[in-house]
Every structure is written in structure tokens, then in C-alpha cells.
Copies of this chain bind each other. A is one copy, B any other.
Amino acid sequence: MPTNKQLLLVSRPEREAVAGNFKLVTTRTPELAAGQVLVRHHYLSLDPYMRGRMNDAKSYAPPQPLGQVMQGGTAGEIVESRNPKFAVGDKVVGLGGWQEYSVVDASQPGMLRKVDTTHVPLSYYLGAVGMPGVTAWYGLVKIIAPKEGETLTISAATGAVGSAFGALARARGCRVVGIAGGPEKCRYAVEELGFDACIDYRQHPDASSLGQALKEACPKGIDGHFENVGGYLLDAVLLRANAFARVALCGMIAGYDGQPLPMAQPSLILTNRMKVEGFIVSEHMEVWPEALKELGALVAAGKLRPRESIAQGIESAPAAFLGLLKGRNFGKQLVKLV
């Protein structure tokens, strides 16, 4: 029974999340019951949605309970098994949370998924070929539903969702324009991720200025947009939207600390006959197999090889998470434990 370091949520943010909201504890893993497996986590996934769960507010998911291990995706390896479907050494992804090990009742469907690391690195199953990748796929394919030649935009373009979105959009013959923070990320979006253009929103601190930059980068207007940030970024996109444009609303990280985040001109949704649709990828499990297949193929073909930001050791998780919320990561943010 190995020792198991865990990070608990012990308080809710007043406004910004802070390191003191988390507490590191050390326990021992329990003995396994029949049907259970012990997973050693190689990677923890850090994702923006986790900030929402830290609040005690009505949302699509129940709040993260206080005093319990922070929930989250994990990729690891079976180190002990009392379940005939999983063998020691199997690579698996699941929802083990912010800890070094998890005990999983692997007989329950959907708790743990075996993955093949021949052509896809294990960590990618938390990013490009995992929940963030499927998130990009769902918003693109099911909400934006682009036609070849259309112009698409995405905020937080170099993150885990954005990098997958770029590859998926290009595979469909679309012009894809990113919005990201800082010249380095914008260069990366164009040179490595294959975006046709990328706008540094820090150079455009209001909707009118950003709208002008979008006009230049999207000379035919915007047909589809994937929103991760909200606020004036979304206002600027609405200013350049074409008739019948579709917006997939996936995140509004700009408002996670409780700032009011109004939409300046909702009448544009009407005058442009737009569709704005919010979604949560975990409510659309039916698309995962199809989405993961396409994402895995893009990775295997070398068309989707995003960078990762990797923090070392479980102790680094809170700081890495707070940095993610401020956009300090570069691509998918992970914590490496092994």
C-alpha cells in the first residue's frame, strides 16, 4: 500500500483562486476490493473548467466538495488489479483527481479507459486525444458545422482545445484564425499549429480595436466561432460575424472570478440571424468514439502535435493551475508525477 499524496480543496475563492484554497495531505492507498484496480497517475490534467467547480454556485456540474480530493482527469498505469479486464501495466485514462494514485471500481462502465500509446503519447489522452480534443470536435462539427472555405475563429487558440480545433478546421478546408495572448503564442499558432492567422488580443484591449484586427484577418467575415474566453473578445467577434454565423460557447474564463461579463450588443445575434449555443462535452458521450478516432489519426499523421506545459510533481499543481487561469501555460497544462 504505497503512500499517496493528495490535493484537497479546503476553501472557496473569494474572488481569484489562490494557492491557499488547496491543501496537500499524505495518506496510504487502501486494500483493493474485488473488481477494483489501483492506478498510478503519470499525469494530472489541469483544465479551466475546474475553476468553475471551485465556486459554490449553480452551474452545470455540482461544485467540487470541500475537504475532498480535487476532481480531474488523469492518465496512468495499472499497478495492482482485482479486475479481470485490467492487467498490471495497462495504460489507462480516467478521472482520478489531483493525487498520485487512485482506486477505481473498474467494473463500472466509463470509469477507466485503456489506451494505446504506440502512436499517441500517453499525455495526449488528456489533451488532443482526450476531453479537450473532443470538446473542440463537438463545437466544430456539431454546432459550427462548417462548410469548406468558411472562416472560423477561436479564442484561447493555443490551448488544448484551440490547438485541436485548428487542426480539425483545417482538415475541413476552412480558414482558421486564432485569438491568443502575446506574440509568442501567436507565432506558435501560425508556425506550429497551422492557423492561417492569429491575433494578439493584448494589442487590442477593447472590442472595437479587436474587431478591426479581426476584419483584417477575416476579410470575408466570420462564419463560425468557438468561444473559450468571453467578454470583449466575444463582442468583437459578433461585430465581424456574417449572416447565419454560429458560435459554440464552451467557456467564459474571463468571468470565472465573478466579474460581470455582459455582452454589449446581443441584437447582433438577431440582425445576423446567428446561433449561439452553449455545450458541455461530457453530456455528449455518443460523439466521443468518432471524435477520438479522428483526433488520434491527426496525431498519428503528424498533423496535430501541440506543445504541452508540464509541471513536475503534485506539489506544483496549484501554482500550475493558477498560471493556467492567467494564460501562463503554453498548450495543454499537465502535472507529471512519474
Contact = CB atoms under 8 A, between A and B. Distances in A.
Q: How many copies does the complex hold?
A: 2
A78 to B, nearest CB: 34
Nearest to A277: B275
Interface string A238-279: 000001000001111001000011111111011111111111
Given A266-B263, A267-B255, A276 B273 contact: no
For the complex of A and B, 7 pairs with smallest distance between CB atoms: A270-B278, A263-B263, A263-B266, A262-B262, A275-B277, A276-B276, A269-B278
Nearest to A58: B271
20 contacts: A58-B271, A59-B271, A60-B243, A60-B271, A60-B272, A234-B266, A249-B269, A251-B270, A252-B270, A255-B267, A261-B266, A262-B266, A266-B276, A269-B277, A269-B278, A273-B278, A273-B279, A274-B277, A275-B276, A276-B276
A97 interface: no
B252 A267 contact: yes
Interface centre among A270, A272, A279 (most CB of B within 10 A): A270
A164 to B, nearest CB: 19
B267 A230 contact: yes
Interface of A: 58-60, 230, 234, 243, 249-252, 255, 260-267, 269-280, 283
A276 B255 CA distance: 20
B283 A266 contact: no
B275 A275 contact: yes
Nearest to A264: B262
